[in-house]
Amino acid sequence: MASLQLNLKPFKTPTPFKHTSSSTPKWGKIQCSATSTKKKSYNITLLPGDGIGPEVVSVAKQVLNLTASLEGIEFKYQEMPVGGAALDLTGVPLPEETLSVAKQSDAILLGAIGGYKWDANEKHLKPETGLLQLREGLGVFANLRPATVLPQLIDSSTLKREVAQGVDLMVVRELTGGIYFGKPRGFGKNENGDEIGFNTEVYATYEIDRIARVAFETARKRRGKLCSVDKANVLEASILWRKRVTMMASEYPDVELTHMYVDNAAMQLIRDPKQFDTIVTNNIFGDILSDEASMLTGSIGMLPSASIGDSGPGLYEPIHGSAPDIAGQDKANPLATVLSVAMLLKYGLQEEAAAKRIENAVLETLDKGFRTGDLFSTGMRLVGCKEMGEEVLKSIDSQRLAAV
């Protein structure tokens, strides 16, 4: 079985406002080798959100519980509303109580946010505003998005086999600055009386320095290559970005730094993605490039992410959207959320052995030919969200049996 290498170092639909404790997974009673010692206990905030979010978070919670039972870990959960679900319950996309609970936890798992139902809302009442507020409130400024083409899924990529094979890259996206948060912003009229909308792309040196440091450290732990993506031939904010990243390179002589304009980077990701190891870029460019990179792998339904800051809990989520067109139909791919749980364990809790169990179980499940609709091809077995989760649980459980 191939090894899933993200190169990282260091459920029954949830009900909002419902506090639950970890329970024994349905795979039976697990004899934990750590029963003689006190279990490590962690508080996890679950934010199922909208659309397929509750479905994939439910699967991920089951996976987390079974893995915990094998590793002598205990999880306590608190489920809170965010996005459209919060709008329907409280009238705002991020209730103060949700942010407060999230800040007090050890890690946060988010499902998905948004849906057609709220598309016509004013901006401050859109579900996506709640996500931006959550990231800002948690201070998670670095978004890590791995894109690895697994051997089992190489034929699912839209690229030729020889181009996609061996792709393994990480996008480090600045998450709380740039044009998404810059001021001034708003609406007005120009000198001709035409209505205008305007946003500001702005970065301070400290914002660039801290994301650059995360990127250099990440590249150092991978293959030692960092490509900084900007638009320094046009944008002043990018000129400063390139200057600061270049200055920091002297602190990392073991990392090879290159620069690339964003339009060329978008082209190169399709032409020759294997040239990239670690990419660092601003908020809006990272948003676009990481979604493009996800399609190299065959489906956005396979891509996890971690959002981290200088302190406090991290936010872990699949990079796919809420997919309201398939919500409630058991068609969602839960693997991106399951792999986000692996990142939560590895990054947020430093439980690397537990994370590895999950990564191995995902690979084993794919080796057996199980595929949700987004990954399905002739000769594979088509399954839904719940069954895919059950197969991952079986693979995790088989690790216990193999060790007995």
Q: What is the pLDDT of residues 140-187, one digit of tens each?
A: 999 999 999 988 888 888 889 999 999 999 999 999 999 999 999 999
Q: In b/e form, how buried is each residue of 287-310, taking b as 16+ CB within 10 angstroms?
A: bebbbebbbbbbbbbbbbbbbbbe
Does residue 287 carry a catalytic annotation?
yes
Q: What does pLDDT average to over the chain?
A: 90
Q: What is the pLDDT of residue 301?
A: 87
Q: What is the pLDDT of residue 403?
A: 55
Catalytic, out of 291, 330, 356, 386: 291
Catalytic, out of 42, 77, 180, 203: 180
Distance CA 357, CA 396 (A): 7
Distance CA 102, CA 104 (A): 5
Confidence of residue 35 (pLDDT cuts 50, 70, 90): very low
Does residue 116 carry a catalytic annotation?
no
Catalytic, out of 126, 231, 331, 346: 231
Write down all domains in the chain, each with its CATH number in brackets: 40-144+301-403 (3.40.718.10), 158-297 (3.40.718.10)
Distance CA 291, CA 68 (A): 31
Q: What is the pLDDT of residue 305?
A: 94
Does residue 230 carry a catalytic annotation?
no
pLDDT at 266 over 70: yes
Does residue 231 carry a catalytic annotation?
yes
pLDDT at 251 over 60: yes
- H runs (alpha helix) in 74-178: 84-90, 96-103, 127-138, 161-164
Distance CA 6, CA 403 (A): 25
Catalytic, out of 287, 316, 347, 397: 287
For residue 363 the two structure tokens come to 């690979």
pLDDT at 19 over 80: no
Which residues 6+ apart lie within 8 Å of 234 measured at CB? none
Does residue 254 carry a catalytic annotation?
no
The share of the chain scoring above pLDDT 70, in percent, equals 90
Mean pLDDT within 65-91: 97
Q: What is the pLDDT of residue 110?
A: 98
H or E, element range at 307: strand 304-308
Catalytic, out of 88, 119, 209, 263: 263
pLDDT at 135 over 90: yes
